[in-house]
Structure 1
């Protein structure tokens, strides 16, 4: 069996160090997938690239990698190595530059962390280049590979519980408890909100009308909170919040259909269906039922993603989920939310 040859660009959090989190389901990083027993059988690790010496050293210690397998920049990566796949797990502001560097080296398959680029214009250019050169690009919106979210997609598409009426999507964090979104230039809308926007786009496609607002602290270049209301001519409405002055991180998709409510979050999944009410005669109420356990996917999103890539690259399948073309639509939606927003400036959060 031919292994997929891999180079990993960026050796930090999502590339490697998050694997040390004792609470997360494993693997939860790119290295965790690559160095799993299944990963070693299907992928050949050619090397990791990162400009920071401390990250290279920590990566080598964590995975017991010899020094000759880590490099400070692409120019030091041996030309004799010919990667089938480049995984870009560097900070968001580096994605576009890193992708162009490895495209120039002849790589034809990419997995890029979300958001695919720092701006919509960069994503638009990258999509154009990929079409012209026949390059395949996956973007790691990992919830698409989670069995419960995949189940929800199937059920919503089938109209088993009727059409979608409303979605309340929230990705809550803030500068009060800052994460990566507040360390770079992307802000919570592009860095964290992209997960919610990706799912909204996956479930409903492009909205017909967008209203939005941003709250910024005086003297800060990025928003602390983004709010958006999306409308579709077919009927659904979406309420989105990203950021929002919270001292915690919370991801949640609250989907209301004609006959059910599907709650998807980082705290679990819940399903409610319409049944005759036990409190109000002649009415139906939402009643919680057991969430289905079966799915066409395995249990781990990273393993599902890597299995899909390996099957496509080795010619076993043509099925891609969330490629650069679809992500261009997601980036355009994020761009419209941001550029069309009313700005509110406050002195403190």
Structure 2
């Protein structure tokens, strides 16, 4: 496990905010007015984002344009120039920006989103900083008129070693947010857990979730109580969900609604775990958990964007996921229940 390619990095405070080019809307001198109301949140695993020149970035961004916070999993390369955290010897490596990743960020920027990103990638192998499907970056997009990063709360990678970690396939990343009126704050732990079915992958996922729960428990001294585990858990069915949920947690996808696009193998991969004792008042239970079926949602869009037959009619998995994804976005909402209790 420990070799010349594997490095330990000290966690920087929360994340690097990549509000990186001149056209970013809502700069400090033009802060938008606060929009009071429920926060609209989405989680979207966009498979291998940054790897496909065929990607309909505008269509995907349009699908989530009305959300206030969007967590995206499977970003495989940084969109812009920058530098990794310093190596133990003090040297610094530069990012290799990816134009295909940048195209999606530009599509989100043009719809009013800001973003925060992890300072580096994470993966299950001994090497990171790869710009390949072997590692992933974490990113959260947000609308500043609704919410903003809460850098005074716990955030960042859940572990200092982001490669081949014993507890995680990909070290999760915590994004703390506060609504614009300051009446609600919370921490979103974005995840992409061990894939595949079978006893070993299920056991691995259960260990990953338990490790995240332990990290959350370890933050008890800071006073924040609202932690949500959000994203692609790769959970296969309700039986696994019941075994994997830590004590005191529930899933907003308790019915195990399928969230992937493959009609030949529907699976309830995406979840929002929360602790009712701490966070139930802030969850919009009436709205619940909604899956935006990607195949249906992009059908009309294809007439403007695509050429040839729509890869969703009939469904062609490899073609569809290169243009869009193999997951549908999932939505939930949070409400400020009076004065924040933490």
Common fold: TM-score over 0.5:
no
User: Could you say which structure has the higher strand fraction?
Assistant: 1
Taking structure 1 as the reference length, what is the TM-score of the superposition?
0.28
Q: Radius of gyration: which is bigger?
A: 1
Taking structure 2 as the reference length, what is the TM-score of the superposition?
0.28
